[in-house]
C-alpha cells in the first residue's frame, strides 16, 4: 500500500490532524521527521496509508496550513 508523508508545523497539529483523518476513516499515524530543517517545522509528520491527496484536501479544508502537499513513498 502506498504511503504519503505530510509535514506539520507542530506536534499539536499532528495530533489534531490524526484525529480528524481517523474520524473520516483514513489510516494515519504520527512519525518524527528524519530531516529537520526550517521547512519541516518541529519535525513531525503524518503518514497516511492510502489516498494521500484526499487526506491533504481534508486537512486543508479544516484550516490546516501545510508546508508541503505530501510526498508519496
**pLDDT level of residue 2 (50, 70, 90 thresholds):** confident
What lies within 8 Å, CB to CB, of 34 at 6+ separation is none
Q: Is the pTM of this model over 0.75?
A: yes
pLDDT value of residue 27: 96
CATH numeric code, 3-72: 3.30.70
Domain map (residue ranges) of the chain: 3-72
DSSP notation for 2-56: -EEEEEES-HHHHHHHHHHHHHTT-EEEEEE-SS-SGGGTTSEEEEEES-HHHHH
Q: What are the pLDDT digits (tens) for 17-69?
A: 999 999 999 999 999 987 655 554 568 999 999 899 999 999 999 999 887 66
Q: Which residue has the cell 508519496?
A: 72
Distance from CA of residue 52 to its chain's centroid?
A: 9
pLDDT value of residue 20: 98
Amino acid at each position: 500500500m502506498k504511503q504519503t508523508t505530510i509535514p506539520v508545523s507542530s506536534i499539536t497539529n499532528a495530533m489534531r490532524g490524526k484525529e480528524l483523518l481517523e474520524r473520516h476513516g483514513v489510516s494515519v499515524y504520527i512519525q518524527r521527521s528524519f530531516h529537520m530543517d526550517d521547512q519541516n517545522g518541529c519535525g513531525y509528520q503524518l503518514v497516511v496509508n492510502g489516498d494521500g491527496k484526499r487526506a491533504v484536501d481534508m486537512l486543508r479544508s479544516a484550516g490546516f496550513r501545510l508546508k508541503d502537499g505530501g510526498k508519496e513513498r
